Structure 1
Amino acid sequence: MVVTSEMVKQLREKTGAGMMDCKKALDEANGNMELAIEILRKKGAATAAKRADKAANEGMIVAKVSDDAKRGIMVEINCETDFVARGGDFVNFSTSIADIVFQHSPADVAALLGLPHPNGRTVADALNDLIAKIGERTEIRRFTTMTANNGFIESYTHMGSKIAVMVEMEGEFNPANKTLARDIAMQVAAMSPLVVSREKVDKELINKELEIYRQQAKNEGKPDHIAEKIANGRLEKYYQEVVLLEQSFIKDAGKTIKDILPAHLVVKQFKRFQLGESAT
């Protein structure tokens, strides 16, 4: 049967799928509209397209670290509702994607989608199968990797897999240091620092903050030389908020992170994912 443009238009209106997807489905169904709808649903194209206007800001973040603690990855998978995010199908899919990222270290999400999935097809096929099954927009949003050359990696997942952190530590990988590294990962999850040390704070950001503090002080009627002192004092408080080593430890507010670190253990870097945040 010849597939006409009118038939493609009708199928698009019924399913919300893309024009080419509709054309291919109608060709495969030999013009049978109901069969074409079924084909699109099985591929996930209809469901995904119809729900493309809904935000996929729920989901989960999976963190995985190698047994020798030398490699780590984090993956964020998004869906529309927390109900689906807690379901077995979504959790199993997310875990499988984390395993694939860990095993293959793809360059980006596009490369990841082309990799083989344990179900015998590609990751993209498995994603479409999941969309068709759960009926929600779902996407592999991002992933990151971390490697420790002179130390180890520790991870922490918080709030029902809505926040995850990896930290790279320089030092011996032993139970005591691992416990301390986990505490630091918890700190990053809870307090969301921007950098490890104040030397890592962007100079433009510092200048911007100082100018804001100076203007605030002047608005309060302070003379220039006093406003400068006030601005520098407020900058110190800013450092205590955004610099990990200068934050108050969440388990003991009387100490900073710098205070709890022994001389032989150094925080090299951290990465923090929060569900639905703007990726940087």
Structure 2
Amino acid sequence: MTTPTISAKQVKELRDRTGAGMMDCKNALAETGGDIDAAVELLRVRLGDKALKVGDREATEGTVASYIHSNGKVGVLVEVDCNTDFVARNDDFQAFAREIAMHIAASPQVKYVSEDEISQEAKDAELRVFEQQAADKPEHIRPKIAEGKLKAWMNDVVLLNQPHVNQDKYDGKTIEELRANLSGTAGENIVIRRFARFAVGA
């Protein structure tokens, strides 16, 4: 039995409908053979209606946090959104936004918030490079090597996939796990909307 290929478009549609995290959506789609309606049901069972209803609400409040490194050569602006002004002013929410800005400052390779933002053309271009790099390996394992390198590349350039740079403080949790935890605690849809990283001379 072959595992169905789950597209970024399917994952995005399921996330839009449920508000569940990306990995939860991917796993649910894989288990239901790519059937979106069945995946929604599966997530309702696993995560409960309350968690999913949060995702239906549009995140129209929030904050823009900034971080300037002590040497004055790296700065970051990041927009983090939520559903209500009450949560936007909450200390935990503000602290989360600052921690995300600090992580981005320490991560010059990060380019995207989520995998959904990477175009298929960009993925295909990277895959071609990785396939050529694996050209000296036995033919039957080349695709697997290239796929592995593509996954590693996405973990490098996608913010939500990365463990927070302060691994001791956050126990190796990824940015997506921290976002999902805060979303559950706040009872609101927390969205890292966009960021800009500035470095002198870059």
CA distance in 2, matches of 1:153, 1:176: 14
| Aligned residue number for residue 166 of structure 1 | 77
- Please say if 1:201 is aligned against 2:118: yes
Over 3 Å counting, the alpha-carbon distance change for 1:204 and 1:152 in structure 2 is: same
CA contact under 8 A between 2:113 and 2:193: conserved in structure 1?
yes
| Matched residue type, 1:240 | N
Residue aligned with 2:111, SS:
coil
CA contact under 8 A between 2:66 and 2:77: conserved in structure 1?
yes
Q: How many residues align?
A: 128
| Matched residue type, 1:270 | F
The alignment's C-alpha RMSD in Å is 1.7
CA distance in 2, matches of 1:240, 1:164: 22
- Please say if 1:242 is aligned against 2:157: yes
Larger strand proportion of the pair = 1
Identity %: 36
CA contact under 8 A between 1:240 and 1:248: conserved in structure 2?
no
CA contact under 8 A between 1:156 and 1:165: conserved in structure 2?
yes
Structure 2 alignment gaps of length 5 or more? 1-58
- Please say if 1:275 is aligned against 2:200: yes
Larger helix proportion of the pair = 2
Match among 112, 122, 129 for residue 212 of structure 1: 129
| Matched residue type, 1:276 | G
- Please say if 1:259 is aligned against 2:177: yes
Q: Pick the structure with greater CA Rg.
A: 1
Residue aligned with 1:152, SS:
strand
- Please say if 1:175 is aligned against 2:91: yes
Structure 1 alignment gaps of length 5 or more? 1-147
CA contact under 8 A between 2:63 and 2:97: conserved in structure 1?
no
CA distance in 1, matches of 2:195, 2:143: 33
| Aligned residue number for residue 100 of structure 2 | 184
CA distance in 2, matches of 1:234, 1:254: 21
| Matched residue type, 2:195 | F
Q: How far off its partner does 1:209 sit? A: 1.0
Residue aligned with 1:204, SS:
helix
Residue aligned with 2:134, SS:
helix
Q: Which runs of 4+ in 1 moved over 4 A?
A: none
Superposed CA offset, 1:211-266 (max 9, x none): 111111122x221x421111111111111100000012111262111111122321
Q: How far off its partner does 1:149 sit? A: 4.8
Q: Report 1 or 2 for greater relative contact order, CA contacts < 8 Å, sequence distance ≥ 6.
A: 2
